[in-house]
Amino acid sequence: MSKYIKYRSFNDAVLKAASSAAATGKGVVFRTFADEKRFDDFLSYRDLISKAASLASLISQEHRAGERALLMCPTGIDYVIGFMASLFSGIVVIPVYPPKKYRNNWERLNSIVEDAEPSLLFTVGGDRDLYIEHFDRLEKQGIKVLLLDKLETKPLNGYDRFIGGLDDLAYLQYTSGSTNAPKGLRVTHRNILHNMEATRESLRLPKEKIFVSWLPFYHDMGLVGTLLQALYFSADYIFMSPFDFVKNPFEWLRAISDYKATISWAPNFAYDLCVDKVSEDQAGSLDLSAWRVAANMAEPVRGDTLKRFSNKFSVSGFSPENLCPAYGMAETTLTITASPANDKPVFIDVSAESFTQGKVVLYEEALHGGKKITLAGSGKVAADQRVIVVNPDSGELLTDKQVGEIWVSGESVTDGYYNRGSFDAGAFNGSCKQYDGQVFLKTGDLGFFDSGELFVTGRKKDLIIIRGENHYPQDVELTVQKCHSLFRKGCIAAFRIEENQIDKLVVVAEVRKATISMREKNSLISAAKSAVLKEYGISLHHLVLLPPGSYLRTSSGKVQRSLSHKKYLNGELTTVDVAVGSRETLVNGEKAASAVATVDWLKAMLAGLLNIPVNTLNSDAPMADFGLDSLTATQFSELISRRLGRTVPLEVAYDYPTLSLLADYLAEIDTPRGDCPPSQSVVDLNEDTAIIGMACRFPRAESIDQFWKLILAGGDGISDIGKSRWALNAHELQGEFSALTKGGFLKDIARFDCGFFSITPREAECMDPQQRLLLELCHQALEDAGLSQEMVNGTRAGVYIGISDADYARQQLKLGVDKASYAGTGSALSIAANRISYYWNLKGPSVAIDTACSSSLAALHNACKDLSLGEVDMAIVGAVNLLVSPDISTVYKKANMLSPDSLCKVFDDNANGYVRGEGCGVVILKRKKAAASAGDPVYALIKGSAVMQDGKSNGLTAPVGPAQEATIRRALAKAKLAPADLTYVEAHGTGTALGDPIEVSALSSVFCADKTRSTPLLVGSVKANIGHLESAAGMAGLIKVALSLKHQLLPPQIHLRKPSTKIPWNQNGITVVPTEPLTWPVAQAPRRAGVSSFGFGGTLAHAILEQAPPHERPAAQYPPREPAVLCISAKSPAALAALRERYLTFLQETPEPAIGDLCYTAAVGRSHFPYRLAVTGTTAVQLHDALSQAELPTAPASSPKVAWLCSGQGSQYAGMGHQLYQQEPVFRAEIDRCADLLADELDLPLTTLLWGEAGDRLDETCYTQ
């Protein structure tokens, strides 16, 4: 027998303790409150033993030992007598939660009855009468109901027959059901006796034991930790109702102070509640100096709580050394580990980043710092129990600072579950190799040891794993609890759900008020979402707000996360009522006067809902970017419905995802939902297409200007590969992979301003850099075209992207990178186009086209076709190619496609293959008439294009000359041009010994066969400058030709030393552009050129471009504004500073810039972002000086409220508003509208009066008022 077992049974211990205490008058006090008065009922140990033994004798007359009895009555004297009477009689008592009007626990009780099959039920008359139907039903099931407050008992002589046996069942402790339905633990007298002494030793209980408790007896900590301990030691025991504690926590501390209590237990939340609810004056009135054991158990112990409590009540004489964090559970009777009195609690700081990955790294040892988590220890192992931490999957013993499942062995471990053998086999049968033959209880809790101190981190089943990171629910719950004062402490449950195969976080939280306002609700949601995102880097998918008293706790007060989870999934949670305040209730039938006004109140409403500043909302950005999720979208629609006085669909925020689109819908100025307004243009199938905007990033050329300078100077964009691209060792660099060391590479392809495009860093990491590059270049191309995001938002614009390689996805798989939720969209080629349409809210076709090396021009061809058919009003055509992996280069090298010297010697006699290159180009297209109507500057016109396939050939990748000819002829036919009308062709020109001669032969057959050409056809290829960009090759050629037409210059053909002898130059009428820039010769204007791009699988494309007509500036509708206002903006201070430098460079280097055009484009053709700067000037010098001297803002701009003060008669004057009328279209339109409305009321036109054209009649009273 263990040294900790000192009695024959717990009955024996109580009888002996009570006998020795009889002379002292010690006993149990039950304190109650009524009308703010306190009442204490006293039961001495002498009377307790006498009454319990008498009742036990009565019970034994009809019932045998081993039968089960439900003990279901309020905590009080009757409860204690009934409990001890059951033990004395050998009846196995089952403490259960008493029924309450506001807490329907009959379902739980029924499951206990079904499991335990009791023959007795102890209660009191009041409860029997209140729930007579339920008790009648129980009696019909054969359960005898005994009313403890109605029984008459007689004193007995001698109690020896009530001793019982050490291994007899004392009671069934039905677990709280925090993870499953309640199960009854078989607690023996041996278990109780062992845990009594284990607790005494581990907590270092003082000799003078005076207990104060508010913990209910149907909770293991209340029963074992306080009542049974008090009985075991025959100590003074003062009990108050848990409801009185919650109502006024001060009363708990006052009882400790009044009775000079030395021992009191409570869960962590109780200490928090005292800190928050007890005033400084109340704390000063207390004397807690006698309190030696302030045990903290039953839920995760918070280091912050312990520190706050000891600081708050130091004025009361409380010492922090007496805070005793402990760990235990019903399965071990109670105590497993505990921190002894007079020892300070143990705290350690660990790295938060490592902790989420299941590792414990002390914060001071963490390599990269970051956030830290302070953990509180739960003490050392109690008595002779064995506590280990193991890998729950393998059962392997773990060492210090390794998180695993906590297992326990010892005489405090109970005898398993009643009638649940299968559960016993799982939970009570742990086997560890290092302790062969010893059986352990698997607690289901996670934790780790550090120098003998146990740190409990959470429940294994409750662990929230999102994107591979571990988050402990109690941490999330505390974060939410702290973020807003309306959350009830200790009444929050966090858990994980799976939705569309994505793990998401849900929090269920009780609030302090039965009814909250919509503003309060929005504030709670916003605060919780923000706090969780900031602390853990994960999104709170759903926050469910519950009214007071509805939070799901067990009878012992534990969080019922599993039940909360189940009820959430079943839609069974009752949410708090939300009242609409007077400020939110508007007149029924209110309609928005205009889309602009609608956007304003929508912004204010959404900002309030999400609890964010109004000025951070971009009306053309998806509302999801600002935190609108499924819950807040529903709330948003409800708020809108209330404002308008009519119901709007719940899904309105998804159907119209930006504030602008939503405003259009609500103002009833948009077309039916989901539709895009049809084109208003008359379709001309033969109309040319205009290139109105361009942007590019090519090797050694970060912009259109740099690209033109590079090729005009005969520059070479080929360079050595950067070390960061891919790893090749020295042997590989010198061997068969030597051709991979050079190429046309872009710089910094990993850099991306994800925040600018409202993309999270995590998603950006999963995105193919080709997608990132396209977004950036589309933005630049649209700006080059003078089109802001607001101008293209919701338009019938199509997106056509040439893209063919998926290096990034293959490399991620090859490196074994974990798949994230964004990996699918991040690597799909189709998303390269779709993401552009999504960001700019474009409603036309959105397609990614892969025809290998002809992808660019195939995309262009489809765009031009849709424009000519009227399918779209604008097209964004882009192409991209990046070399993220060496794999494809290796394949091409082995196929002898790559140049050994990494030079693309197009048309040269030494041509020996091409060099790979990367880049991205984007062009903006409109129909010619539409561009002219809008006053868009045009780089060039696209006259026609064609795409064909070469079909059957000598091989899948073998070039076919006749097919190339047919493609070019079809393009000429579409353009309605003769071959002689073209003077230059940008050839596909890869620099291969076979491909170049076949292509030149095809060109000769088309353009020079009829001998009518007066001058040779000039040919060239930009591949010599930047390499073969493959899917983006045609785009590079297109941009080169457009620039050449604009500047009327042909860049030189580099790497041409000796024209290929395989091509009969003297006979075919074709000449290669010389190695110096050439003024583009033309027999008659306009200049025209062809661009060829051929895919290695046989898809051939050709486009014909024409010099743009002279730009005709549309007549000004209003006088020029003087001085001019230059407005620039960006999304961050650094970006604004960089933008200012670009404007300063332009103003300084551009001779006589058109100031009006510059300022107009900056104001109208650019989106306006939060960080803004505006200066004025009439000349470039003035603007330059003002811009250079302006102070950059450090905070985003806010939208000021504008109030118009109407002073009444006397403020008018002739000509008032005349300049605004001349210069501001909106003001002019409103004045004209007012003039129309007043036409029948005034004898003169309103403008005649305002501008003083009628003399001083404006001053007449009939007009001024």
Residue 387: HSE in the Cβ half-sphere, 13 Å Cα cutoff: 31
**What's the pLDDT score for residue 359?**
81
Dihedral sign computed on CA atoms, order 89, 91, 96, 101: negative
Residue partners of 1039: CB distance under 8 A and separation at least 6: 694, 696, 704, 707, 921, 923
Nearest to 642 by CA among 707, 561, 584: 584
Which residue, chain included where needed, has tokens 């819950």?
A: 631
Element (H, E) at 926: strand 919-927
Residue 134: phi and psi, rounded to 5, are -65, -40
**Span 765-791, average pLDDT:** 93
- What's the average model confidence in pLDDT over 778-805? 93
pLDDT exceeds cutoff 60 at 860:
yes
**pLDDT band at residue 783 using 50, 70 and 90 as cut-offs:** very high
- The confidence band for 807, taking pLDDT boundaries of 50, 70 and 90, is confident
- Asked whether the beta carbons of 697 and 717 are under 8 A apart, the reply is no
Residue type present at position 674: G
At 110 the pLDDT is 82
Q: Is the peptide bond before 1123 cis (omega within 30 degrees of 0)?
A: yes
For residues 578 and 384, the model is more confident at 384
DSSP code string of 424-436? HHHHS-EE-GGGT
Q: Is the pLDDT of residue 708 over 80?
A: yes
Nearest to residue 80, comparing CAs of 49, 54, 39?
49
| CB-count burial class (<10 Å; 0-12, 13-18, 19+) for 1247 | middle
- Cα dihedral sign, 7-11-13-15: negative
Query: Mapped to the 3 state alphabet, what secondary structure does 700-753 carry?
Result: CECCHHHHHHHHHCCCCCCEECCCCCCCCCHHHHHCCCHHHCEEECCCCCCCCC
Share of residues in the chain with pLDDT > 90 (%): 43
| Token pair 């988590």 in the structure block, residue | 373
pLDDT at residue 582 tops 70: no
pLDDT confidence of residue 676: 42
For the chain, the average pLDDT equals: 84
Cβ contacts of residue 108 below 8 Å, gap of 6+? Answer: 97, 177, 182, 555
Asked if the model's pLDDT at residue 57 lies above 50, the reply is yes
Tokens of 553: 């706790």
Q: What is the pLDDT of residue 23?
A: 67
Q: Give CA–CA dist 171/185, Å, rounded.
A: 8
Q: What is the pLDDT of residue 333?
A: 94
Q: Taking residues 422-436, what's their average pLDDT?
A: 78
Residue 1003 to residue 1071: CA distance in whole angstroms: 11
Listed residue (1058, 954, 948, 945) closest to 998, CA to CA: 954
> Does the structure show a pLDDT above 70 at 469?
no
Closest CA to 447 of 395, 481, 505, 405: 405
Mean pLDDT of 460-464: 74
**What phi and psi values does residue 359 have, to the nearest 5 degrees?**
-115, 150
29's tokens? 């006090």
Provide the pLDDT confidence category of residue 554 given band limits of 50, 70 and 90.
low
Summarize pLDDT for 675-686 with one digit per residue, the tens: 444 444 445 678
CA within 13 Å, CB half, 1230:
8
The answer on pLDDT for 669 being more than 50 is no
SS3 596: helix
387-405 confidence digits (pLDDT tens)? 999 998 888 999 999 999 9
**Dist CA 772 CA 765 (whole Å):** 10
How far, in Å, are 162, 169, 242 from residue 79 at the CA level? 19, 19, 15
Residue-wise burial string across 819-831, b where 16 or more C-beta atoms lie within 10 A, e elsewhere: ebbbbebbbbbeb
Name beta bridge partners: 351. 372
Q: Is the pLDDT of residue 653 over 80?
A: no
Mean of pLDDT values over 948-975: 87
Structure confidence by residue, pLDDT tens digits, 254-302: 999 999 999 999 988 889 889 988 999 999 999 999 999 999 987 778 8
- Comparing 52 with 128, the larger pLDDT belongs to 52
pLDDT at 31: 65
Largest CA distance in the chain: 137
Average pLDDT over every residue of 628-657: 75
- Greatest mean pLDDT among 440-444, 874-878, 1130-1134 lies in 874-878
How many H helices and E strands in the chain? 46, 46
Sign of the torsion angle spanned by Cα atoms 967, 972, 974, 975:
positive
**Tens digit of each residue's pLDDT (9 = 90 or more) over 1160-1205:** 889 888 888 889 999 999 999 999 999 999 999 988 887 676 776 7
Asked if residue 762 has pLDDT above 60, the reply is yes
pLDDT digits (tens, 9 = 90+) for 144-163: 989 888 877 777 777 777 88
Q: What CATH superfamily classification does 580-666 receive?
A: ACP-like (1.10.1200.10)
Q: Can you give 31-84 as a three-state secondary structure string?
A: EEEECCEEEEEEEEHHHHHHHHHHHHHHHHCCCCCCCEEEECCCCCHHHHHHHH
- What distance in Å separates the CA atoms of residue 212 and residue 238, rounded to the nearest whole number? 5
- Convert the pLDDT of each residue in 839-849 to its tens digit: 999 999 999 99
pLDDT score recorded for residue 863: 96
- What gap in Å lies between CA 202 and CA 336, rounded to an integer? 9
Which of 732-744 are b and which e, b meaning 16 or more Cβ less than 10 Å from the residue's Cβ? Answer: eeeeebebbebbb
Tokens 């308008």 belong to 644
Q: What is the mean pLDDT of residues 532-537?
A: 74
Cα–Cα separations (whole angstroms), residue 872 to 678, 686, 848, 911, 989: 9, 15, 16, 43, 33
Give dist(CA 211, CA 224) in Å, integer: 12
pLDDT value for 590: 32
User: What is the second-level CATH architecture of the domain 10-338?
Assistant: 3-Layer(aba) Sandwich (3.40)
The CATH number corresponding to 1124-1189 among 3.40.430.10, 3.30.2420.10, 3.40.50.2300, 3.30.70.3290 equals: 3.30.70.3290
Q: What is the pLDDT of residue 304?
A: 86
Q: Which pLDDT does position 905 carry in this prediction?
A: 94
Query: Which of residues 1109 and 521 earns the better pLDDT score?
Result: 1109
Give the residue extent of every domain in the chain: 10-338, 580-666, 689-1107, 1124-1189, 1218-1264
Tell me: the pLDDT tens digits for 718-736? 998 876 676 544 444 445 5
pLDDT-based confidence at residue 32 (cuts at 50, 70, 90): low
Compute how many other C-beta atoms are within 10 angstroms of the C-beta atom of residue 1260: 11
| Reported confidence tier of residue 1115, pLDDT bands at 50, 70, 90 | low
Output the pLDDT for position 886: 83
Interval 324-347: pLDDT, tens: 999 998 899 999 999 999 998 999
Quick one: pLDDT at residue 681? 43
DSSP 556-587: TS-B-HHHHHHHHHTT-PPPPEEEPPTTT---
| % of residues, the chain, pLDDT over 70 | 87
**Quick one: pLDDT at residue 193?**
96
Please count the residues of the chain. Answer: 1265
| Correct CATH for 689-1107 of 3.30.43.10, 3.40.47.10, 3.40.109.10, 3.30.565.10 | 3.40.47.10
SS (H, E, C) 54-68: HHHHHHHCCCCCCCE
- pTM equals 0.53
